[in-house]
Amino acid sequence: MNTKMLPRIIYPLPVKTNWEDGILSLKDNIELFLPENIDNSFKELVTEIWPGFSFGRLELQLKTDNTLPQNSFLLVVNNKPMIPILDETSTYAVCVNANGIAALAVDEISLKHAWFTVLQMLQAETSTPEVESFNVPYVQIQDHPKMNFRAIHICVFPETSLEFLEKIIKLTAFLKYSHMVIEFWGMLKFDVLSELSWPQAYSKEQIRPLLELARRMGLQPIPMFNHWGHAAASRASFARHVVLDQNPALASLFEIDGWTWCLTNPESMRILQQIRAELLELFGNIEYFHLGCDESYSHAMCDNCRKHDSPTLWADFLNSINAELKQRNIRPMMWGDALLEPDKWEGYTALSRADQRTHEALELLDRDFIISDWQYECEIPSNESATIKHFIKNGFDVVSAPWYDYKNIQTLAEGAIKNNAMGMLFTTWHTLPIRMPSIVFASVMAWGKEDGFNDFSQYDQMQRSICGSLCRKLHGKASDYKNAGWRTFEVCESV
Ligand SMILES: [Zn+2]
């Protein structure tokens, strides 16, 4: 498929797009009719992002039409266009013709998706020195995602600015991701223990508006806090430890190397419980809580933990958290690497160690847990998604979790779709600023690509520039050098 031949490029690619002869021209004041009962968040969203896509040149007047069905909109140019009929499987439909643009959706988030699709079809008329009007080709679109759970995992490092976070939230919501897992690397201030964060960490008051922004745009936030390995809240590569570098005397909260929380220290348990309480208060109404639980190199190595059966100690700890979250109808998520035995999973990442036997916890864990099966080396045919199948066979819901590599993303997305897994969690870690276009690619794969869509080499260059263009429009106003794009500098020594 050559996307350059299409009148418009829409990410993620809609399931059915019938382009027709004719171009709708939008100029002067445009009226957007909404049903009477539509939520204010939709109106706020429209008002917020329309100027960026129309370069502030077209005023959009919001009007109410009480004859409109729920979850619909009409953008009227001549007479009111007909509301499209939804195909059986569609979550939204859009129709553009000489009268204007009409959309219908199954729910309000899908109506936001319809709006994002429409905005991607606006193209400035280029016959005048400055933009005066916009063209939209006549088209009928029927669309739905192949996976309902399409999440991205975002890390907030000391280098991550609030402006960058805002950009990522807007971009991922616009690309129709459904959820965003947010992991603070020592970058959120907790009341329970000041050493859990660096002095430059963000306050809850600074983060709250970003969570509201995510929800307004149709993206559901998921809090994440590492409850086991990665307790340093810093990359293993450089040996920082957010707690112990600020207060070495707190060493007994962790195992001997500081990397893993000590599961037999009551004070560790109290602090982790309080962290969850604070995150639950901050994140508000949520469906999922990610507990981390990957790469626990030093699990149960202290003298107290050694007295316990290793897998039972870990599973009991996690099940007790599940019981707490279940009271609030929240499901826990966890990484899956420690639940896999290396000898059995050649070609996959499997990090249960012989002396820790953490894979034995799989049988002991409550089936409420959602396993995030991260596999970054997998480029094998998707019908061999053995670890996905293994977790499903054992009664768990699974989300496959790729990283930036395109073939890895494609393999894990196809594996999840083919095996009817719960969805996909696209991870970005510390490489996000140099891998931004992979957000676009993963959105296409999680939504469900068309058969035969495989020319990713050509796709990459286009994604990079289109990703930049979308970020600019979603930002909606001029930027200075430092805040333009997604990196604060143009040149550094290594890349
Ligand atoms: Zn211990």
Q: What is the pLDDT of residues 349-365, one digit of tens each?
A: 999 999 999 999 999 99
Q: How far is the CA of 341 from the centre of ligand 1 (A)?
A: 22
What is the predicted pLDDT for the residue at 454? 60
Give 480's pLDDT tier (boundaries 50, 70, 90).
Answer: very high
Q: Please tell me which residue, 416 or 451, carries the higher pLDDT value.
A: 416
What is the predicted pLDDT for the residue at 127? 86
* Three-class DSSP category at 429: helix
What is the predicted pLDDT for the residue at 464? 82
Q: How far is the CA of 9 from the centre of ligand 1 (A)?
A: 54
Q: How far is the CA of 241 from the centre of ligand 1 (A)?
A: 17
Judge whether residue 393 has pLDDT over 70: yes
CA-to-CA distance for 108 and 426, rounded, in angstroms?
24
Query: pLDDT tens for residues 421-449?
Result: 999 999 999 999 989 989 999 999 999 87
Count of residues in the chain: 495
Which stretches of 65-219 are DSSP H helices? 108-121, 162-174, 204-216
> Residues 299, 310: contact at Cβ < 8 Å?
yes
Q: Please tell me which residue, 225 or 378, carries the higher pLDDT value.
A: 225
What is the predicted pLDDT for the residue at 178? 98
Q: Which residues of 404-440 are buried (b: 16+ CB within 10 A; e: fewer)?
A: bbbebbbbbbbbbbebebbbbbbbbeeebeeebbbbb
Q: How far is the CA of 319 from the centre of ligand 1 (A)?
A: 18
Judge whether residue 450 has pLDDT over 70: no
Tokens of 456: 């990713």
Give 388's pLDDT tier (boundaries 50, 70, 90).
Answer: very high
What is the predicted pLDDT for the residue at 1? 42
Work out the number of other CB atoms within 10 angstroms of the CB of residue 250: 18
Q: What is the pTM of this model?
A: 0.96
Q: How far is the CA of 260 from the centre of ligand 1 (A)?
A: 9
225-234, 259-268, 373-382, 411-420: segment of lowest average pLDDT: 373-382
Q: How far is the CA of 272 from the centre of ligand 1 (A)?
A: 14
Phi, psi of 33 (to 5 degrees): -95, 130
Q: How far is the CA of 298 from the centre of ligand 1 (A)?
A: 9
Q: How far is the CA of 270 from the centre of ligand 1 (A)?
A: 14
CA-to-CA distance for 70 and 242, rounded, in angstroms?
49
CA-to-CA distance for 16 and 20, rounded, in angstroms?
13
Give 457's pLDDT tier (boundaries 50, 70, 90).
Answer: low
What is the predicted pLDDT for the residue at 135? 96
Q: How far is the CA of 311 from the centre of ligand 1 (A)?
A: 13
Q: How far is the CA of 167 from the centre of ligand 1 (A)?
A: 40
Instruction: Give me the residues paired with residue 460 across strands.
Output: none
Judge whether residue 231 has pLDDT over 80: yes
Judge whether residue 157 has pLDDT over 50: yes
Q: What is the dihedral of CA 410, 413, 414, 416, to 10 degrees?
A: 160
Once rounded to an integer, what is the mean pLDDT over residues 70-79? Answer: 94
Residues 6+ apart with CB under 8 A from 202: 156, 162, 184, 187, 188, 189
> Residues 168, 436: contact at Cβ < 8 Å?
no
Once rounded to an integer, what is the mean pLDDT over residues 234-242? Answer: 93
DSSP 265-297: -HHHHHHHHHHHHHHHHHH-S-SEEE------T
Judge whether residue 177 has pLDDT over 90: yes
Amino acid identity for residue 166 in this structure: E
Mean per-residue pLDDT of the chain: 93
Q: How far is the CA of 312 from the centre of ligand 1 (A)?
A: 13
Once rounded to an integer, what is the mean pLDDT over residues 136-152? Answer: 97
Work out the number of other CB atoms within 10 angstroms of the CB of residue 92: 27
The DSSP output letter for 462 is H
CA-to-CA distance for 327 and 90, rounded, in angstroms?
34
Judge whether residue 298 has pLDDT over 90: yes
Once rounded to an integer, what is the mean pLDDT over residues 221-243? Answer: 96
Give 278's pLDDT tier (boundaries 50, 70, 90).
Answer: very high
